[in-house]
A = this chain, B = another copy of it.
Amino acid sequence: MRVEDLDTPVLIVDLDSLEENLDRYQRYFTQHQIGLRPHIKTHKTLAIAHQQMKRGAIGITCQKLGEAEVMVAGGVDQDVLIPYNIVGALKLDRLVALSRRTRLSVAADSAYTVEGLSAAAHRAGATVGVVVELGVGSRAGVPTPQAALELAQQIAQSPGLELRGLMAFPTSVQTRPLLQETLALYDRAGLPHPIVSGGSTASALSAHQVPELTEHRAGEYCVGGVGHLRRGTHSVAQCALRVLMTVVSRPTPDRAILDGGSKSLSASVIQDGEGSSMGYIVEYPQARFHSASEEHGHVDVSACDTKPRIGERVQVLPVHPCPCVNEHDELVALRQGRVEAVWPIAARGKIR
């Protein structure tokens, strides 16, 4: 079966491009002796996670417990980091059970989270690894190095827990001083930090500028996306993940409607100099995919020299691959236009 035989809209990945990205980033991290811990939230797919591990990843990152359960059950069970505060009795029981099936570390940024983790692990006679989440962005994380130290001390003294270091998101050379200050406090207190975990694809290839990192978490590096294309870290050819769509309407000479909207791409939008964009059309770089309904892609084709016809198919790069993948049940893997596999997106929708 070839790409021409697929019905649209359909999520596709080009294997040559995917594998080149996996090789390229793994090579960088191996060269700099930093562990690469891929974030599976981008692809949510066992086949790609196994490929990442075979290439030398030190383990995987799963944002939610349910994603980790899918990966471990599917044999990606060497080493899992969940960089998330696990809160509530139902999840804590599952977390402790999972910790018996893989080397597992989890993040915490509050005494509340640590107390819950400790009680659940201790009650079950298990040991759960914990890293402190240091707040460096606008998300979770303790607000200061001193607060990180205090939480690390609490973890080190909590039954059922093993302090494993710290993590932050996103990390870059700008966040290095905060990491250094926190690590100095750990060292002065004699606290261990075998894991110092940084993250983000945008800063992945400059991770060596933060030599304190033992590992780096990156997700989107494997497939790129419009943001990475604009930033120059991925060429169009290196943007491996696309949604194949059909032109279903040309209501006016300047407008085209595609059969994929937010239900195929996600509702993610990026802003650039020309306004908002929901995707990049590979065959029509001058076209502007400016907005979408759920099942209609709204494209301005006024700047295109030749314009797409009804019935024609186009490949659209999503602006944000992770939520795009989450809209789909299957990922069609292509090599030179031939369907090599159809992979279930096994961790799709695992929000708990």
Residues of A198-239 at the interface with B, using a CB-CB cut-off of 8 Å, are none
Q: Which of these, B41, B246, B259, B349, contacts A328 with CB under 8 Å?
A: B349
In the assembled complex, which residues on chain B have CB atoms less than 8 Å from the CB atom of A183?
none
Contacts of A140-187 to chain B: CB distance below 8 A: 140-143
Q: Are B310 and A294 in contact (CB under 8 A)?
A: no
Q: How far is the CB of A66 from chain B (nearest CB, A)?
A: 10
Partner of A110, one of B64, B141, B246, B249: B249
Q: Which residues of B have CB within 8 Å of A326? A: 263, 294, 327
Beyond A251-B135, A298-B138, A349-B327, whether A88 also contacts B246 by CB under 8 A is yes
User: In the complex the two chains form, is B109's CB within 8 Å of A249's CB?
Assistant: yes
A326-352: contact bitstring with B at CB < 8 Å (1 yes, 0 no)?
A: 111100000000000000000001011
Known contacts: A110-B310, A249-B140. The answer to whether A9 contacts B352 by CB under 8 A is: yes
Chain A to chain B contacts (Cβ below 8 Å), 5 pairs: A262-B323, A263-B349, A267-B269, A267-B323, A294-B322
Bound Cα distance A109, B296 (Å): 14
A262 lies within 8 A of B257 (CB): no
Of the candidates B140, B251, B262, the one whose C-beta lies within 8 Å of that of A143 is: B251
A10/B352 in contact, CB under 8 A: yes
Chain B hits for A269, CB < 8 A: 267, 269
* A291 contact set on B, CB distance < 8 A: 138
Interfacial chain B residues near A135, Cβ < 8 Å: 251
Whether A302 is near chain B, meaning CB under 8 Å from some CB there, is: no
Q: Is residue A242 within 8 Å, beta carbon to beta carbon, of the partner chain?
A: no
Closest to A247 in B: B87
With A257-B140, A296-B139 known to touch, is A266 a contact of B266 (CB < 8 Å)?
A: yes
Is A103 positioned at the interface, with any CB of B under 8 Å from its CB? no
